[in-house]
Amino acid sequence: MTGAPGLEDLLRACAPQVLGALVRRHGQFDAAEDAVQEALLAAFRQWPTEGVPENPRSWLVTVAARRLTDTFRSESARQRRELVSAPEEPPPVPGTDDTLTLFFLCCHPALSPTTQAALTLRAVGGLTTAEVAAAFLVPEATMAQRISRAKARLRGAEFVLPPPEDRAQRLSVVLRVLYLIFNEGYVATAGPALHRADLTAEAIRLTRAIRASLPTGAHPSAGASGGGASDTGGTPGGRGTPGGHGTPGGRGGSNDGSGSDGSGSDGSGSDGSGPGSGGAGSRGGAELAGAAGEVAGLLALMLLTEARRPARLGADGDLVPLADQDRLSWDGALISEGVALLTETLPVAPLGPYQLQAAIAAVHAEAPSAADTDWPQIVALYTLLERFEPGPMVTLNRAVAVAQVHGPQAGLELLDTLRPQLDRHHRWHAVRAHLLELAGDPAGARAAYREAARRTLSRPEQRYLNTRASRLAGG
Amino acid sequence: MKYLLLIQTNPAVFEALSEEERNAVFAGHDAFSAELKESGELLGFVALADPSASTTVRVRGGAVDATDGPYVEAKEFLAGYYAVDCETPERAVALAAKVPDAAYTAIEIRPVMAEAGLEM
Q: Taking every pair of C-alpha atoms in chain B, what is the biggest distance, in angstroms? A: 55
Q: What is the pLDDT of residues A178-204, one digit of tens each?
A: 999 998 888 876 655 445 558 888 899
Q: Which pLDDT tens digit goes with each residue over A1-55? A: 445 568 888 888 889 889 998 988 888 898 999 999 999 999 988 988 988 898 9
Instruction: List the single residue in A113, A145, A457 with the smallest CB-CB distance to B114.
Output: A457
* Residue A383 pLDDT > 60: yes
Provide residues of B within 8 Å CB-CB of chain A.
Answer: 2, 37-44, 85, 87, 111-120
What number is the average pLDDT over the span A57-76? Answer: 86
For chain A, give the mean pLDDT: 80
Smallest Cα distance from A2 to chain B, Å: 24
Q: Do B119 and A322 touch (CB under 8 A)?
A: yes
CA distance A185 to A179: 10
Nearest residue, CB atoms, A459 vs list B37, B39, B113? B113
pLDDT, tens only, B79-93: 999 999 999 999 999
Q: In the predicted model, is pLDDT for residue A131 greater than 60?
A: yes
Phi, psi of B60, deg, nearest 5? -130, 120
- CB within 8 Å: B119 and A312: yes
Chain segment A441-454, per-residue pLDDT in tens: 999 999 999 999 99
Kindly tell me the sign of the dihedral angle through the C-alpha atoms of A27, A30, A36, A38: negative
Residue B16 neighbours by CB under 8 Å, 6+ apart: none
- CA-based end-to-end distance of chain A: 52
- The string of DSSP codes covering A9-44 is HHHHHHHHHHHHHHHHHH--HHHHHHHHHHHHHHHH
Mean pLDDT value of segment A284-291? 65
Q: How many residues does chain A have?
A: 475
A312/B115 touch (CB, cutoff 8 Å), yes or no = no
Residue A250 has pLDDT above 50, yes or no: no
- Distance (Å, rounded) from C-alpha A412 to C-alpha A415? 5
Q: Which residues contact A199 (CB under 8 A, 6 or more apart)?
A: A135, A181, A182, A184, A185, A186, A188
Q: What is the ipTM of this complex?
A: 0.84
Which homologous superfamily does the CATH classification assign to the domain defined by B2-111? Answer: Dimeric alpha+beta barrel (3.30.70.1060)
What digits encode the pLDDT tens for the residues A367-382? 999 989 999 999 999 9
Nearest residue on chain B to A454, alpha-carbon basis: B113
Contact residues on chain A for B120, CB-CB shorter than 8 A = 319, 321-322, 430-431, 434, 461, 464-465
Tens-place pLDDT, residues B8-60: 999 888 889 999 999 999 999 999 999 999 999 999 999 999 888 999 999 99
Task: Classify the C-alpha dihedral A161-A162-A166-A172 as positive or negative.
Answer: negative
pTM of the model: 0.80
**pLDDT digit string (tens) for A385-413?**
999 999 999 999 999 999 999 999 999 99
Is the pLDDT at B66 greater than 60? The verdict is: yes
| Interhelix angle A5-26/A56-75, nearest 10 degrees | 50
Give the β-pairing of B2-9 and B77-85: antiparallel
Q: Are A473 and A450 in contact (CB under 8 A)?
A: no
Cβ neighbours of A145 in B, within 8 Å:
37-40
State residue A227's pLDDT score: 36
Q: For testing the chain B interface, which of A183, A184, A461, A465 should be mutated: the one with the most B CBs within 10 Å?
A: A461
Q: State the pLDDT at residue A78.
A: 57
**Chain B: residue nearest A113 by CA?**
B87
pLDDT tens, residue by residue, B96-111: 999 999 999 999 999 9
For residues A42 and A122, give the distance between their C-alpha atoms in angstroms, rounded to a whole number: 16
Q: What is the pLDDT of residue B54?
A: 92
- Rounded Cα–Cα distance for residues B7 and B82 (Å): 8
Using one digit for the tens of pLDDT, what is the confidence trace for A311-334?
988 888 888 889 899 999 999 999
Average pLDDT for residues A163-167, to the nearest whole number? Answer: 86
Residue A217 pLDDT = 56
Mean pLDDT, residues A157-173: 87
Q: Which residues pair with B47 in a beta bridge?
A: B80
CB A346 within 8 A of CB A242: yes
Q: Using 50, 70 and 90 to split pLDDT, how confident is the model at A71?
A: confident
Of A203, A178, A168, residue with least CA distance to A291: A168
pLDDT surpasses 90 at A362: yes
CA distances in angstroms from A128 to A15, A147, B85, listed in the order given: 11, 11, 20
**Domain locations in chain B as residue ranges:** 2-111
Q: Which residues of B touch A462 (CB under 8 A)?
A: 113
